[in-house]
Amino acid sequence: MRSISLYRDNGTWLCRVHPFTKLAYILAVILVPLLLGSLWAYAAAIVLDICILISGKSLRRARALIIFSFTIIVTIFLIRGLFDADNITPAFSLGPVVFYQEGLMKALRTGAVIINMLLSFSILVLTSKPEDIADELERHGFSPRLSYVIASVFSIIPQMMGTMDTITDAQRSRGMETEGKLSQRMKAFIPLITPVVTTSLINTRERAIALEVRGFGSKGKRSYLSPWKKHRGDRAMTIVLLLSIAAAAAWRLASWLS
Amino acid sequence: MAFIEIENLRYRYPKTERLALQGISLSIEKGSFLGIIGPNGAGKSTLGSAIIGLVPQFYKGAYGGHVSVGGKDAATVPVSEIARSVGLVFQNPFNQLSGAKDRVYDEVCFGMQNFGIPSDEMRRRADETLELMGISAFRDRNPFDLSGGQMQRVAIASILVLRPEVIILDEPTSQLDPAGSEEVFRAVEKLTESGITIIMIEQKIDKIAEYSDRILLMDEGRAIAIGTPDEILSRPDLEEHGIIPPAPARISRALSFALPDGTFPATQEAAVTLMEGRVGFRKDEKKGEAQASAEELLRTEDLSFSYTEGNEVLHGISLAFDGRPTAIIGQNGAGKTTLAKLMKGLLKPVSGRILLRGRDIAGNTAASLAGDIGYVFQNPDDQIFKAKVADEVMFGPLNIGMSEKEARKKAMEALEMVHLASAADRNPYDLDLHERKMVALASVIAMETSVLILDEPTIAQDDRGKTMISGIIKELAARVTLVISILHDMDLVASSFRRVIAMAHGRVLADGSPEEVFSKEEVLSEAGLELPHTAALAKKLGAEDILLSDASFLAAAFRV
Amino acid sequence: MTGKSIFRTKFDVASIVLIPACIGINYIGKLFASALKLPLWLDSIGTCIGACLGGPIIGGICGAANNLIYGLTTGDSITLIYALTSLFIGFFVGIMARAGFMKTFPKAIITSLVAGAVAIIISTPLNIIFWGGQTGNVWGDAVFAASQAASLPLWLSSLFDEIIVDVPDKIITLILVFVILKALPDKLTALYDAADEVERLD
């Protein structure tokens, strides 16, 4: 089955870490540099992200996730460096085009925010199974309906992608062109999307029935097949991470007050 | 009082006018096997839904009468509560998976989790039920990766672990291939031994005859009759209610072999016991060889194909098609659909070529071939997108360049042919699946192609629908349209096709008239195929020829 | 229609399974758009369908859940930030639909303008906070660069960028949703009617 989830169990310790610990890490690694405000804090965060990914043997796959952002970052450098309202000090020039220091520094900061965010999220995305995240949310008191929604997205999409190919074939068989002028391609959209939408909505009706007859609407207490195998240090790590946020916030507050 | 008591049940779906159930009264005892038969639209599924409370709680609409299940009122006690004692399995195996679990084992446990069953007990029940359904080997697989038959057994297992007292099986095999159906029926057989109450709605009349203690015949929302299989299936008015009696009952009636109580045997086994040694068969001397008609329309030359390199699914297929209606038969994975898609230009051959009237189609896209070769997909919902049946049917004709007026004319003719002219202005999705299949068929017929490829046209059709398709194939053949159909229904193959191609493992095993192909036992067993019901009975009774139709059976047979 | 019934929401199993289906439709819309090489995202069709069938609350949930789920699992974490935009698009399209503004084509166009306006109002500040005002879309960013070069204020340049990127997309999306909804059968829409009761025949 084609899955849209990027999770792979590569057997490293990172896959055993509780998803909530990873969420706490993301929160910390994004908030702490923001509170501290120093570019060095961002650099440290990015280095930390990379170290974790390397030890979890996932850096190569993470690279694929951030590469697309490079074009955005390049345009940010171009636009800020050339046109930013605060631009005063020229940094360098390429022929007639002059780049300014102030804009470039701003762009550097934005770029660091983007890279740090993408890397830290990729730790969660690459090493935690969505179904496990859903399951853990449910066990910690979130509605089973929420965890159902999360988990079922991952089974629905591959199913829909399978029908996509069949629908394209079926409409082409009836003489519909899917290539050519923009107007022609535009016209092809409705015959392609409508059957997927209608079929998937009709399927939801049957799926709702299947869930009803298996007691999904039942109000009673639920039970679970197996408890989460605790990773050593999950709790300690989470506490350290949350404390680091608190410490950074305290530092920021103190520097404001003084 | 019986476990299930239904009193004067009437029901109407929202936004419809007709009552789907018009006063049903019925009681079902514990431990029995009740078969429900009737044409599409008879109200069979609605009755099943009413027993578990989905009608009216889920569907809403208008409801009258009373349904009690183990003392609980099915109209008011929540479905999740009734579900503790009644389980439901329906047609589409995909949609019965919860969609929230990626392991068969977890899928089977999903319902038990909802009911808060402790984990030790959960494991015990799951292990036991997986074993019973023969799916223990798949416990760690993703349920969505299983075949239809396996998936359907997972669905049954997911219900059984809840330990219901009654299980309703609503056409559980209607969307499966023969091997998948066989798997599911074997599972059902195991269930009958376990003592659970089973209510099975089914079009496969021979299976109903084999398993049922009692059969309920329904038509137009009414219960026509209830009785033993022999009683119900011997009724002279069966065909008026859209049911063709099983071959054993038809043949024994025609030969006047009645059981002591005046009914006719409904199963092959009973018919053989009754008639064995009492019928003889005349040998047919002038065996009809299949005559190729003059004009060749389509030819494949040494066609090979693979989806992934080094994994060839078709090996050097060379076939020439003339005007005879041709059935391609074989198990799933034999390469039938791949072959059909190649001929339609949806796939490009790895080697070999395809000639349409002597012209190589290699340079053409599927869309540009649309006017020459039509292809009706298995699932109509993969193509229907217009809000009106007539517009849907006109889509293809307009695409291939017909004028609006001409397209409308062709569309109406095609709808006439599938008996849906009166539905031209309705929303196709308000029609039932079997009617939507006919809309899809009409939408390709209206393009008046010289070749028409049908992929499993009989799935979801009842006996009336199958008869209609049989008529359409004959009509198209008379118009000099080459009909090529992938089929699992051997009775239809026998009755409507003049040429049969049996495939297995990407090769053609046999090619000839139905009589020729069905007489080759080694081919049938290698391709995993069964004889049509009439021919199977004739063979059991000692006939040497392959007697495919009732007419040829009766012409050859005599009482001794 | 009273204010209360506009927000009335059924949280039964049928509505819950509607949400993942809509999220899937968003994804497929995006895939088809790129397969046909259309210059649009078309990735909020499902959210709008969810909103029209289930009302503003379900619409909002579809929108927010859509971005959260994709952001947290497919690695496209930039999407996360725009969960807020999707939430409000779903919510307002739901209100418009319940108020009858998806019944005719001209009214659907009004709804599409509302959706476009919501997208601009929510996304522009987000763009400024996170990316210094850009959207990452070539055409939009070209306009952004031009306005910045012309020394227009940042918020205005960013607004232009956002208008170019989101408004045509929302108009086409809602037109598509209108056409698709017209093709949906009564059998299906009846399931999401918030106000239905079982009628007794005896």
Rounded-to-integer distance, Cα C179 and Cα C164, Å: 24
Distances (CA, A) of B2 to B6, B23, B213: 10, 19, 16
Report in angstroms the alpha-carbon separations of A204 from A201, B379, C21, C180, C192.
5, 17, 7, 16, 12
Per-window interface: A 9-48 vs B, CB < 8 A: none
Residues 6+ apart with CB under 8 A from C181: C49, C52, C102
What are the structural domain ranges in chain C? 11-192
Residues 160-179 of A with CB under 8 A from C: 160-161, 164, 168, 178
Secondary structure (H, E, C), B467-531: HHHHHHHHHHHHCCCEEEEECCCHHHHHHHCCEEEEEECCEEEEEECHHHHHCCHHHHHHHCCCC
Is there a contact between C47 and A227 (Cβ–Cβ < 8 Å)? Answer: no
Under 8 Å between Cβ of A6 and C73: yes
Check C183 against B385: CB less than 8 A apart: yes
Any idea where the domains of chain A sit in the sequence? 13-128+229-250, 135-212
* Mutate which: B97, B389, B430, vs C, most C CBs within 10 A: B430
CB atoms under 10 Å from CB of B214, counted, come to 17
Q: What is the pLDDT of residues A35-64, one digit of tens each?
A: 998 999 999 999 999 999 999 999 999 998
In what helix (H) or strand (E) does residue A96 lie, and over which residues does it extend?
none
B58 touches chain C (CB under 8 A): yes
pLDDT score, position C70 = 87
In this structure, are residues B457 and B437 in contact, taking their beta carbons and an 8 Å threshold?
yes
Q: Please name which of B523, B538, B551, B556 lies closest in space to residue B275, comparing C-alpha atoms.
A: B538
CB contact residues (below 8 A), chain A span 221-250, against chain C: none
Give the pair of three-digit tokens for residue C178. 């209108």
Residues of chain C positioned with their CB less than 8 A from the CB of A207: 17
Alpha carbon of B515: minimum distance to chain A alpha carbons (Å): 33
CA distance A138 to B113: 12
Nearest CA in chain B to A164: B382
Flag whether residue B395 sits within 8 Å of chain C, measured between CB atoms: no
Contacts of C among chains (3+ CB pairs under 8 A)? A, B
Residues of C in contact with B63 (CB under 8 A): 198-201
Integer Cα distance of A104 and B113 in angstroms: 56
Report residue B354 as tokens.
Answer: 């395809």
| DSSP notation for B9-63 | EEEE-TT--S-SEEEEEEEE-TT-EEEEE--TTSSHHHHHHHHHTHHHHTT-SEE
Res C174 pLDDT > 90: yes
| pLDDT, tens digit (0-9, with 9 covering 90-100), for A206-221 | 999 999 999 998 888 8
Q: pLDDT band at C188, cuts 50/70/90?
A: confident
User: How many Cβ atoms sit within 10 Å of the Cβ of residue A89?
Assistant: 11
Joined tokens for residue B432: 């039932």
Q: How far apart are the first and last CA of chain C?
A: 31
In this structure, which amino acid lies at residue B59? Y
In CATH, the number for domain C11-192 is: 1.10.1760.20
pLDDT attached to residue C139:
85
User: Model-level pTM?
Assistant: 0.92
Distance between CA atoms of B360 and B338, rounded to whole angstroms? 18
Q: Which amino acid is at A72?
A: I
pLDDT confidence of residue C1 = 44
d(CA C135, CA C125): 11
Q: Hey, is the C-beta of A125 within 8 angstroms of any chain C C-beta?
A: yes
**Residue B488 contacts by C-beta under 8 Å, 6 or more apart in sequence?**
B177, B178, B329, B456, B458, B459
Q: Is residue C127 scored above 70 in pLDDT?
A: yes
Report residues of chain A scoring pLDDT below 50: none
Instruction: Give the integer Cα–Cα distance in Å for B60 and B79.
Output: 13
In this structure, which amino acid lies at residue C135?
A: T
Q: What pLDDT shows up at residue B316?
A: 94
d(CA B329, nearest CA chain A) in Å:
21
**Which one of C185, C198, C202 has the shortest CB-CB distance to B56?**
C198
CA-based radius of gyration for chain C = 18
**B247-254 vs B268-275: helix crossing angle, rounded to 10:** 30
Cβ–Cβ below 8 Å for A193 and C131: no
CB contact under 8 A, C199 and B61: yes
CA distance A186 to chain B (A): 15
Tokens of residue B109, six digits: 């446990």
Residue B98: helix, strand or coil by DSSP?
Answer: coil
- Cα B477 to Cα B482: distance, rounded to the nearest angstrom: 6
Helices within A128-181 (DSSP H only): 130-139, 144-173
Rounded Cα distance, B204 and B182, in Å: 11
Q: In this complex, do B90 and A209 lie within 8 Å of one another by their Cβ atoms?
A: yes
Token couple for A21: 């610990």
Counting residues of chain B whose pLDDT is more than 90, the rounded percentage is: 86
pLDDT tens per residue, range C86-116:
999 999 999 999 999 999 999 999 999 999 9
Q: Which of C12, C24, C73 is the closest to A125 by Cβ?
A: C73
Put simply, whether A191 touches B (Cβ < 8 Å) is yes
User: What would you report as the CA-atom Rg of chain A, rounded to the nearest whole angstrom?
Assistant: 24
Contacting residues of B for C196, CB less than 8 Å apart:
14, 60
Low-confidence ranges of chain B (pLDDT < 70): 285-294
Beta carbon pairs, A and B, within 8 Å: 181
Per-residue model confidence as pLDDT tens digits over C8-49: 888 888 889 999 999 999 999 999 998 888 888 899 999 999
CA dihedral angle for residue B182, residue B188, residue B194, residue B196, rounded to 10 degrees: 180
Can you tell me the ipTM of this complex?
Answer: 0.91
| Domain annotation for chain B: domains and CATH numbers | 4-242 (3.40.50.300), 245-275+531-560 (no CATH), 298-530 (3.40.50.300)
- Look up residue C192 and give its DSSP letter: G
Cβ–Cβ under 8 Å, residues B404 and B398: yes
pLDDT of amino acid B260: 94
